[in-house]
Chains A and B, each alone.
Chain A
Amino acid sequence: MFLKLFWSFFKIGLFGFGGGYGMISMIQFDVVDKNGWMTNSEFADILALSQMTPGPISINCATYIGYNQGGIIGAIFTTFALCLPTILLMAIVITWLFKNKENHYVKALLSSLNPIVVGLIFSAGVLMMNKENFVGFESVIVCTIVFVATFFFKVNPIYLIIMSGIFGYFYY
């Protein structure tokens, strides 16, 4: 059982690309469709919770599912399984990169991937501009103010998050 959990999340960590939301569908397939560890509505609950607690969504999701299946040990197990491929891969890639910083292909790849990564991160932000996150014109105002504050005035993002939370508490 722990082994199965481990294997599922190891696989997801290895093939998951481009941030949390791509991984979510993979987790859903493994957890709900393939292994039947939980129902679809249970999974939807867990997903909602993952978005509300701090940390990357995919890790939160893995932690909840692990906790659900095997308590604290299960949670540590799934979290670690999800991160392990990343850790191994990063170990190889980073050491290799530091050695080959001046390589012609490495330099070319870095400069051509740069604008593509900009587009990918931007799209992650655009995808979040949905009805769930933007409940009204106030949301647009909050988003604009935060953008200006962080982009032009370099305000610490932590203060901006706390202030938006306080605004939400008193306004809604």
Chain B
Amino acid sequence: MRLYFDLLTTFLKIGSFTLGGGYAMLALVEQAVVRQKKWIDEDEFWKMITIVQSLPGVFAVNTALYVGYRIAGKAGAAVSFLGAVLPSLVIIGAISTCFQEFRENETVMKIFAGIRPCVVALILAPSVKMFIKSKLSWKFLPIPILVAAAVVFLKMSPVYIIMAAIICTIGWEYLKIKDIDKKSTDNHEEDEAADDDDEKNVEFISSKKEND
């Protein structure tokens, strides 16, 4: 019971301070779950983020569900989900009568002018940390940079990038297993001629794994 209450208050706090979108929650969850409560160790936390971000749906909700489930099973997932969503519902209900006034309120605008750049930093910092903690060598730095460039400049949808990566990885691993079985070496053609960037990414990683 104590644990559920702890989960609920933790996610209520996180939900109330998630300003400027779900990604801003990342830094807050890390602080609370990894550093303060020590419910999940850092290594597992970043693995979890990888899974959660690769699935459809609301990132913040996925994260809350996963953390809750990991710590206290199904009931834990339900409790942390409630904690993450409740602040939105309550606050919107509370200001529903004065939407317009709230939006044009000068004090609110001033406060948000200060908070917005802070939120940007709170999204950038965890992503850099995530790369460092993944213990990949610096050789792999081009991958996140290429992905970010594809999204920012080419306006490529993350869905396609993730799907291409999944298909390439499974294909590559499958070929590798088949290679070992047949003991033939010249079987490395990839089926997907689709995404140059992503194919390169997967090749990088796979070759790294082979070296290990």
The answer on a CB contact under 8 Å between B23 and A125 is: yes
Query: A20 within 8 Å of B by Cβ?
Result: yes
Main secondary structure of the interface of B (DSSP, over half): helix
CB–CB A90/B151 < 8 A: no
Q: Does A1 contact B (CB under 8 A)?
A: no
A168 touches B113 (CB 8 A): yes
Contact B122 A83 (CB under 8 A): no
B194 within 8 A of A: no
Asked if A51 and B209 make an inter-chain contact with CB atoms under 8 angstroms apart, the answer reads no
Given A18-B158, A20-B22, is A122 in contact with B115 using a C-beta cutoff of 8 Å? no
B187 contacts which chain A residues (CB < 8 A)?
Answer: none
Q: Are B15 and A54 in contact (CB under 8 A)?
A: yes
- Selected contact of B56 from candidates A48, A86, A164, CB within 8 Å: A86
| A160 interface hit (Cβ, 8 Å) | yes
Whether A17 pairs with B158 at a CB distance below 8 angstroms is: yes
Q: For the complex, is B123 an interface residue (Cβ under 8 Å from A)?
A: yes
Whether the Cβ atoms of B31 and A156 lie closer than 8 Å is yes
Compute how far the CA of A105 lies from the CA of B89 in the bound complex, rounded to whole angstroms.
40
Contact of B122 among A90, A146, A172 (CB under 8 A): A146
| Complex interface: chain B residues within 8 A of A76 (CB) | 89
A112-B201, A161-B118 given; A53·B92 CB < 8 A: yes
Which chain A residues lie closer than 8 Å to B28 at the CB level?
Answer: 157-158
Chain A residues 64-91 with CB under 8 Å of chain B are 64, 67, 72, 75-76, 79, 82-83, 85-87, 89-90
Confirm or deny: A28 has a beta carbon within 8 angstroms of a beta carbon on chain B.
no
B92 in contact with A67 (CB, 8 Å): yes
CB–CB A165/B115 < 8 A: yes
B79 within 8 A of A: no
Chain B residues numbered 85-122 whose CB sits less than 8 Å from any CB in chain A: 85, 87-89, 91-93, 95-96, 99-100, 102-103, 107-122
Determine whether the beta carbon of B157 is less than 8 Å from that of A75: no
Known: A110-B47, A117-B130, A158-B13. A55 touches B85 (CB 8 A): yes
Complexed CA–CA distance, A37 and B18 (Å): 28
Docked-complex contact B81 and A87, CB < 8 angstroms: yes
A129 to B15, CA, bound (A): 23
Residues B201 and A116 in contact, CB atoms below 8 Å apart: yes
CB–CB B17/A45 < 8 A = no
What residues of chain B have their CB less than 8 Å away from a CB belonging to chain A?
13, 15-23, 25-28, 31, 35, 46-47, 49-51, 53-62, 65-66, 69, 77, 81, 84-85, 87-89, 91-93, 95-96, 99-100, 102-103, 107-131, 134, 136, 140, 143-152, 157-159, 161-162, 165-166, 168-170, 172-173, 177, 198, 201-202, 205-206, 209
